[in-house]
Structure 1
Amino acid sequence: MAKVKYYYDPETLSYRKIERKKRKTLQYAMIFLLGSALFGFLFVFIASQFVQSPRERALKRELSNLQLQYDILDKHVDDAFAALENVEDRDNNIYRLYFEANPIPNEQRRAGFGGVNRYRKYEGYDNSKLIIESNKRLDLLQKAIVVQSKSLDEIAVLAADKEKFLSSIPAIQPVKNEDLKRMASGYGYRTDPFTKVRKFHFGMDFTAPRGTPIYATGDGEVIRADNRSTGYGNHIRIDHGYGYQSLYGHLFKYNVKANQKVKRGDLIGFVGSTGRSEAPHLHYEVFKDGERINPINFYYGNLSAEEYALLLEKASLENQSLD
């Protein structure tokens, strides 16, 4: 039962009962409720600033983990760029230089993407800047890798062609040193053995016994193996490609036939003295783009420096040729 409260009335000199008006009571109730609501809101606000809910803590951990993953990804991208730059440097300064190809400028390797905004879908988030920058770097890395991959494909083609070119050049002596009696005559003016007139000798004569093996000086295809060329007797011509041909004259017999593919070092025939020849020997010529050139420049494939110097000395002597 609620307490009954009284107050002293000095006019009547008596105690009167306090009557609470309903309106006043309602006001007090409203004030109480409003105060309680404000206090509760203030409490929740303060608590939210210092106390996190389990869900908030989980989201914060997830965000922190994502930030860590982006940092790790950024480090991996840095490492990938560093490795790629090393390959690019060797590509420009070693591979492309060796194969006489123009280097790829850095502006082409690191070119961005023009036109529309490729990263619009990543805008409007708390970490948009981080996400956009990461995607930009990944796109640049991917494009740089594609450019480098195409460059290496080009280098592979150049390397294969270079290897074919190097194996095709007539680069060895057609008769082995141990089979030679002597190097009779070189490229240049020599005395004709039949007319005794000084005239230009367009090949090199290697004196060797009849039947001495003769070897192809480079990869190629035999285009002639016959005796239908004046003066050469039985002879072989090999087309090496790249404008190079080699000729082997005065043979005793053949070991190949026309249209046959040969490799450098293959046995193609044997020394003889057919045609316009004074004694058994091999007359050897090299052509470049249809012009006869000095064969002495093409023996780096199987002679030492000392052997080459001796051959050069003998080839420079102006003596009598054997054909």
Structure 2
Amino acid sequence: MSKVKYYYDSETLSYRRIEQKKGRKFGIAAIGVIGSFLAGFILLLIYLNIPQLETPKEKAYKRELENMQLQYDLMNKRLERNENVLQEIAERDDNIYRLYFGARPIPEDLRNAGFGGVNRYKNLEGFDNSKMIIESSERIDKLTKQIVVQSKSLDEIAALAEQKEELLATIPAIQPIQNSDLKRMASGYGWRSDPFTKARKFHYGMDFSASTGTPVYATGNGVVTRADANSTGYGRHIRIDHGFNYVSLYAHLSKYNVKKGQKVKRGDVIGYVGSTGRSVAPHLHYEIFKDGEKINPRNFYYGSLTSEEFDQMLKASNLINESLD
């Protein structure tokens, strides 16, 4: 109950009740409402202009978004790694496996074909991160299709292999020295720094570092066509003709264990590591020829390496370092 107020009337010498005007009451109420509105508006402006001020729900959403971004980045890295491995398998399939058996390489447009026609990702449109999600979905779908194509190709190669055991026995398919821990890979096929001139020079083989006297193995069945030091730079070296237009070369040997015209089988000891010829340290320089052309030996270790070991060897052989010859 509101208090009643009085004032003293000097003319009547008595107290009279103070009557408040209705307009005054309304004005006070209006001022209160406007004041409250302005105060709320000012507080809202302050809140919106303080970025570090976040509600618990906003903080939770932000953490969830950051975690999703991290998971997306990790998924993209795994996708990239799988794409690279599949690309290497496809390269070996077209340039080695299918070539072995006289099968035509798989057309590039078939391997890399996308998905035409209807929009497969319409249900993913309209979101804040639609572009990111659609791109990842496309990569996954394309990788899946490439795996199917490659799987069918390998099935075909397996069928052809049953008919060509002789070819498989002759093709160079193991590493020429024992290298189970893959630490002997010194330099791969490609542009490397020449150890003598320091200039960039194309290195046509693979160098395996090893101490003098380390056994060197024939990488496939064949006939020794050379075991001499009459080729510039190679020093003492051996060449084996494997048939089917394949030849392997083993250079910088310290001594031989075979002679010209001798038949050898995969895994036979044909010589020993040395540093003869144009060499800066004991090592084996290994090359493979196909139809008279030097090709990358890294694709010919399927007989001695697991997929994980091949991946490690691939990384080591791609290092841009200095060759040993």
Give the alignment's TM-score, normalised by structure 1: 0.50
- Corresponding residue SS for 1:258: coil
Partner of 1:174: 176
- Is 2:101–2:164's contact at 8 Å kept on the other side of the alignment? no
In 2, distance between residues paired with 1:212 and 1:308?
22
Structure 1, residues 142-200: CA drift from partner, whole Å, max 9, x if none? xxxxxxxxxxxxxxxx9897111010000100011148752110000000000001010
Q: Which amino acid aligns with 2:306?
A: S
In 2, distance between residues paired with 1:312 and 1:162?
28
Partner of 1:233: 235
- Is 1:180–1:206's contact at 8 Å kept on the other side of the alignment? no
Partner of 1:188: 190
Q: Which amino acid aligns with 1:313?
A: K
Q: Alpha carbon RMSD of aligned pairs, Å? A: 2.2
| Structure-2 change in CA distance of 1:256 and 1:309 (3 Å) | same
Task: Please tell me whether residue 302 in structure 1 is matched to residue 304 in structure 2.
Answer: yes
Partner of 2:324: 322
Q: Which amino acid aligns with 1:245?
A: V
**What are the residue-to-residue correspondences of 1:1-323 with 2, within 5 Å?**
162-178=164-180, 182-323=184-325
| Structure-2 change in CA distance of 1:250 and 1:299 (3 Å) | same
- Is 1:233–1:249's contact at 8 Å kept on the other side of the alignment? yes
- Corresponding residue SS for 1:296: helix
| Structure-2 change in CA distance of 1:159 and 1:170 (3 Å) | closer
- Corresponding residue SS for 1:229: coil
Where do 5+ consecutive residues of structure 1 fail to align? 1-98, 102-157
| Structure-2 change in CA distance of 1:248 and 1:100 (3 Å) | closer
- Is 1:180–1:207's contact at 8 Å kept on the other side of the alignment? no
State the shift of 1:304 in Å: 1.2
Q: Which amino acid aligns with 1:291?
A: E
In 2, distance between residues paired with 1:288 and 1:298?
12
- Corresponding residue SS for 2:164: helix
Q: Which amino acid aligns with 1:305?
A: S
- Corresponding residue SS for 1:167: helix
In 1, distance between residues paired with 2:306 and 2:178?
13
Question: Any runs of at least 4 consecutive aligned residues in structure 1 with deviations exceeding 3 A, and if so which?
Answer: 158-161, 178-181
In 2, distance between residues paired with 1:274 and 1:173?
21
- Corresponding residue SS for 1:177: coil
- Corresponding residue SS for 2:166: helix
- Corresponding residue SS for 1:223: strand
Structure 1, residues 28-58: CA drift from partner, whole Å, max 9, x if none? xxxxxxxxxxxxxxxxxxxxxxxxxxxxxxx
- Corresponding residue SS for 1:311: helix
In 2, distance between residues paired with 1:279 and 1:251?
11
Structure 1, residues 61-82: CA drift from partner, whole Å, max 9, x if none? xxxxxxxxxxxxxxxxxxxxxx
State the shift of 1:296 in Å: 0.2
Q: Percent identity?
A: 69
- Is 2:101–2:161's contact at 8 Å kept on the other side of the alignment? no
Q: Which amino acid aligns with 2:247?
A: Q
Greater Rg, structure 1 or structure 2? 1
Q: Which amino acid aligns with 2:289?
A: F
- Is 2:161–2:168's contact at 8 Å kept on the other side of the alignment? no
State the shift of 1:307 in Å: 1.2
Number of residue pairs matched by the alignment: 170
- Corresponding residue SS for 1:312: helix
In 2, distance between residues paired with 1:222 and 1:296?
22
In 1, distance between residues paired with 2:171 and 2:163?
12
Structure 1, residues 256-299: CA drift from partner, whole Å, max 9, x if none? 00000000000000000000000000000000000000000000
State the shift of 1:305 in Å: 1.3
